Structure 1
């Protein structure tokens, strides 16, 4: 049975423990403490977790997140490492589906904030799981982009997205494409082929869910 979500959770928690609560992340303005609080809110506060995606609830969610962030660092890390079994997103039924991409992205948010980061060689099972998410994510993240965008992961497949028009091709490993499509273009290692203006626009577009 796949354990990608658990492996990424453990690796992220170990890394945050090593770096401490004040280390930078790829998320602008967020430290590792802020990121840990986000993860705890998402799993343990369903009353506020909707604010992660829904603008009307964002203010409430942020107030809750700041209160969580004030907890002792050791407690925060323990809460990230050991999610409650009752959590809608982290119980044994939903964990792999809901958390593989989430924890991969945030693991890389911490890793790639270091100036000497290098890409990882991901296990084949994790790459396959990330490609499944990337292929669907592309259609959503690029639904308004004014071009015909072809997303390609060599050895995994390709998917078309965008509103049509001039063609642009984005090529990369599944993990790199996940980061690109989640709005982390500046730290993702992909190749973009197409008209220069469209390629530049794609690199700076506001992507993500």
Structure 2
């Protein structure tokens, strides 16, 4: 059973994606709609819409907005505005808590094909949503006047760091210098090689925030060339 609060990370078991989802849902419920986040031009209802549509991309198509990032951004704005009332917002948050929907089956799609797609979706969720759930939870918490870093269990911090290790090169691909991420326990990730190196040191969660575009809000030490 998972036991989560928005201010701390406590859980039994090793389903880290479920734990992160629960923490995000708790933060959204606590904040309510029309509250600021760290994401420019997004209030809490827009952030919730972004999470929901990321997990349910078929909903973008259903809105007849086409494909690609522009269509997704438009869908986020529209769903966010539709979810600005408390009732609509909490309905959206409940949908996030329930997890991804089963997308409509393609014509003549076999049961085996649907099962294979379901397995693939679960694997992709584990690989990508852990970091995004964590960061979006902090997008809500750290936009408030008073906040404090959550105390993460060692196991959860390890899971974040390992996912960061897998994706770090993509996050720093456009950086102007090399980047080395150094966890406070001494573990390192060479995110980008280069003659000049920038060293970023901090706990696993803070390194995740830096990597995913929140450097001004990550509690890290930076040693630039």
The TM-score with structure 1 as length reference comes to: 0.79
With over 3 angstroms needed to count, the CA separation of the structure-2 counterparts of 1:152 and 1:18, relative to structure 1, is same
User: 1:81, 1:47 → 2: CA distance?
Assistant: 17
Alignment root-mean-square deviation, CA: 2.5
Q: Which has the larger radius of gyration?
A: 2
Equivalent of 1:73, from 89, 94, 113?
89
* Compared CA separation, residues 39 and 144, structure 1 to 2 (3 A): closer
**Is residue 160 from structure 1 mapped to residue 171 from structure 2 by the alignment?**
no
Quote the offset at 1:38 in angstroms. Answer: 0.7
Separation in structure 2 between the aligned mates of residue 67 and residue 147 of structure 1, nearest angstrom: 38
**Does the Cα contact within 8 Å between 1:146 and 1:163 map onto a contact in 2?**
no
SS at match of 2:170: helix
Q: Is the 8 A contact 2:60 2:71 kept in 1?
A: yes
- CA distance 1:163–1:116, shift in 2 (3 Å): same
Unaligned runs of 5+ in 2: 1-12, 62-66, 104-117
Q: What is the CA-CA distance between 1:47 and the residue it aligns to?
A: 6.2
Residues 9-158 of structure 1 mapped to structure 2, 5 A cutoff:
9-46=21-58, 48=60, 57-69=68-80, 70-71=82-83, 72-84=88-100, 86=102, 92-155=122-185, 157-158=187-188
Q: What is the rounded CA distance, in whole Å, between the counterparts of 2:91 and 2:120 in structure 1?
A: 18
Q: How many residues align?
A: 189
